[in-house]
């Protein structure tokens, strides 16, 4: 199947908005992508390139990614992708069916990925918690790092930046802050 026709089969991920005050525990921060960021052509192109790359890599295993948020969170796709890229066999259950076992699998896979990328904890823009909660921004940071490390010639769109809203629950209510996050470098 051609990558373009394969991409046309893929659905766009659901858009999630900022939380209601009761959804975010006090003292916690969470990042959100506003619709304008999600609809940015460079942002959409980055997702398309990464999905096509993953699908091309995992085609021999008959695995198809349709949504980066929905398909990456449980560790299954990352597990197969990591094994395909490195040739290393991870000692982790193949199919994790419960949320706790999926999270454990994701922990093992991310630990192996982070070790291969040789990144320190402070450098990481993703975590088990953010990937498992289907955080698209964290997922994209992880996939860009994997692509740059294992396939540096992959034509990722240059200078992809997104506006991010960081919400924080404080004693006096929700506090929001806008910032710009860099996903790919300028060339």
94-118 residue pLDDT tens? 787 899 999 999 999 999 999 999 9
Domain at 57, CATH number? 1.10.418.10
Longest dimension (CA), the chain: 54
Least confident interval from 12-21, 102-111, 121-130, 171-180: 12-21
What's the CA gap between 133 and 70, in Å, rounded? 10
- Reported as a single tens digit per residue, the pLDDT across 152-175 is 999 999 999 999 999 988 888 888
CA distances from 46 to 4, 12, 156 (A): 14, 13, 6
* Cβ–Cβ < 8 Å for 3, 55: yes
What's the CA gap between 117 and 149, in Å, rounded? 7
Tokens of 130: 């953010």
Q: How much is the pTM?
A: 0.84
Residue 24 or residue 137, greater confidence: 137
Residue 58 domain-assigned (yes or no) = yes
Percent of the chain at pLDDT exceeding 90: 66
pLDDT exceeds cutoff 60 at 16: no
140: left (phi over 0), alpha (psi -120 to 50) or beta: alpha
What's the CA gap between 15 and 38, in Å, rounded? 8
Residue 112 domain-assigned (yes or no) = yes
Residue 186 is predicted with a pLDDT of 83
- Domain span at residue 114 reads 38-157
Q: What mean pLDDT comes out for the span 113-137?
A: 91
Residue 120 is predicted with a pLDDT of 76
Residue 138 domain-assigned (yes or no) = yes
pLDDT exceeds cutoff 80 at 121: no
Residue 32 three-state SS:
strand
Residue 163 domain-assigned (yes or no) = no
Give the chain's domain count.
1
């Amino acid at each position: 199947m051609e990558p373009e026709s394969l991409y046309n089969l893929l659905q766009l991920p659901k858009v999630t908005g900022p939380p209601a005050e009761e959804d975010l525990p006090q003292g916690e921060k969470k990042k959100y992508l506003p619709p304008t960021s999600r609809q940015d052509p460079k942002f959409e192109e980055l997702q398309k390139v990464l999905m096509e790359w993953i699908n091309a890599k995992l085609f021999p295993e008959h695995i198809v990614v349709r949504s980066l948020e929905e398909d990456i969170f449980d560790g299954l796709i990352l597990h197969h992708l990591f094994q395909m890229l490195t040739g290393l066999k991870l000692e982790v259950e193949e199919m994790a069916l419960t949320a706790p076992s999926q999270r454990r699998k994701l922990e093992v896979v991310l630990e192996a990925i982070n070790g291969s990328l040789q990144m320190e904890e402070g450098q990481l823009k993703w975590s088990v918690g953010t990937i498992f909660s289907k955080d698209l921004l964290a997922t994209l940071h992880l996939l860009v790092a994997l692509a740059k490390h294992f396939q540096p010639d992959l034509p990722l769109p240059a200078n992809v930046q997104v506006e991010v809203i960081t919400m924080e629950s404080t004693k006096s209510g929700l506090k929001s802050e806008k910032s710009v996050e860099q996903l790919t470098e300028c060339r």
